[in-house]
Amino acid sequence: MLQFKIQSDSDIPASKQLFDQIRFAIASRQYPPGHRLPSTRQLATMTGLHRNTISKVYQQLEEAGLVESIAGSGIYVKAQNNEDISFPESPLFTEYIEESQLVYKSLDELLKQGLTLSQAKELFLAVIDWRLRCSAEVIVTVPSRDMGAGELILQELEKALAIPVELVSIEDLDQVLAQKESATVVTSRYFIPEAELIASPHATRVFPIDIYDYAKELAMIKELPKDTRLGIVSLSPGIIRVAEILIHSLRGDDLLLITAQASDRRQLLTLARSAQTIMSDPASYSLVKEAILAVREDLIRPPDVICSEYYIGEKSINLLKRELGLG
């Protein structure tokens, strides 16, 4: 079981700390779809929070579309639409034996439902044609308050997919989709409910991606000496907020935490002068190195810089490539 910790002397409300930690566990697949969340009694024992507070956090998670309550059973992580769904390409039966069997089984099931072969063919071709058209347009969407997260997704998808990808704020998504014949909208699980609400009237599919779990980076943070001045740099203010909560839950006041958005040059230079260890996302790494170079005369010893390799989980990248017919 994951260990959720609440920093009692933090300015962030305890309920917000717990909400963000659970949401991170869901977004990073540490709590996958179908996973049963701890009972309110278990979380109360673990965190010291009142069970009523935990119940309200669970209600907020349910209202956000991240979990669902099953009477008499518990709270479960909700599966998102289009998850782990893909249609096989048109393989040669002798080369792709398992795939051809799946085609046969699917066709048999349609025939059992009363469709004719012609109707089944029309359905298959319509779906394939729709998928091909959707694959031609990939749109990354996030709220305008955290376009930095969208930029991270955009950069990783352009590199992994080798096709053009467009970044659009959720606030502008409806207007953009109204001008598109078809598209695939990609967003973090954090923002799935809002994106689906907008995309559904346009008959546009929304593909959820899982963020990287940062297990390697969190393990490094656990090993840092007490009183280390740790800098966190990201394009995304959302990542910085979650990082603050996670690091406080791991180390409390053992570390001096300094944060900066990569776009805030003044704060970035302050961080470069003060931090002994700096962790950054891939898109911010070059800006961190430039800031260190700019203040090198003020440094006795340059900070250690650790660059996270990813923002998107590898499984999500592979699933999306399969969805888009890119292998």
Q: For 35, which DSSP code? A: P
Classify residue 302 as exposed, middle or buried by CB count within 10 Å of its CB (0-12, 13-18, 19+): middle
User: What phi and psi values does residue 175 have, to the nearest 5 degrees?
Assistant: -65, -40
Q: Where in the chain is the domain with CATH 1.10.10.10?
A: 14-77
What is the model's pLDDT at position 80? 64
The answer to whether 246 touches 271, Cβ cutoff 8 Å, is no
CA end-to-end span of the chain: 35
For 221, how many CA atoms within 13 A lie in the half-sphere containing its CB? 26
Helix (H) or strand (E) holding 197: helix 192-199
Q: Which long-range contacts (CB under 8 A, 24 or more apart) does 158-166 make?
A: 160/312, 160/317, 160/321, 161/320, 161/321, 161/324, 161/326, 162/326, 163/138, 163/324, 163/326, 164/138, 165/138, 165/139, 165/140, 166/137, 166/138, 166/139, 166/140
The greatest distance separating any two alpha carbons of the chain, rounded to the nearest whole angstrom, comes to 78
C-alpha 319 chain-centroid distance? 14
d(CA 268, CA 304): 15
Q: Locate 18 and state its tokens.
A: 């717990």
Fold assignment, 138-212+317-324? Rossmann fold (3.40.50)
Pairing mode of beta strands 277-280, 229-234: parallel
> What is the pLDDT at residue 92?
56
The reported pLDDT for the residue numbered 112 is: 79
Residue 116 class from Cβ within 10 Å (0-12 exposed, 13-18 middle, 19+ buried)? exposed
Tell me how many degrees the CA angle 179-181-183 measures, rounded to the nearest 5.
Answer: 95
Is-contact 229 275, C-beta < 8 A? Answer: yes
Alpha carbon separation from 283 to 139, 267, 286, 309 (Å, rounded): 19, 17, 7, 10
Distance CA 299, CA 301 (A): 5
List helix spans (H) across 136-191: 147-161, 170-178
Structure confidence at residue 72 (pLDDT): 84
Give, in words, the CATH class of 14-77: mainly alpha
CATH class, domain 215-307, is alpha beta
pLDDT in tens, the chain (327 residues): 678 889 988 889 999 999 999 999 998 888 988 889 999 999 999 999 999 999 999 999 999 989 999 888 899 998 765 444 344 444 455 666 677 777 777 887 888 788 888 888 888 876 666 565 555 688 999 999 999 999 999 999 988 888 788 999 999 999 999 988 778 899 998 899 999 999 999 988 899 999 888 889 999 999 999 999 999 999 999 899 989 999 999 998 899 999 999 999 999 999 999 999 999 999 999 999 999 999 999 998 999 999 998 888 888 989 888 888 776
Nearest-angstrom CA–CA distance, 96 and 98: 6
pLDDT at position 85? 39
Domain with CATH 3.40.50.2300 in the chain: 215-307
φ and ψ at residue 115, rounded to 5 degrees: -80, 155
Strands ordered across the beta sheet of 256-261: 256-261, 229-234, 277-280, 304-307
- Distance, in Å, from the CA atom of 273 to the CA atom of 269, rounded to the nearest integer, reads 6
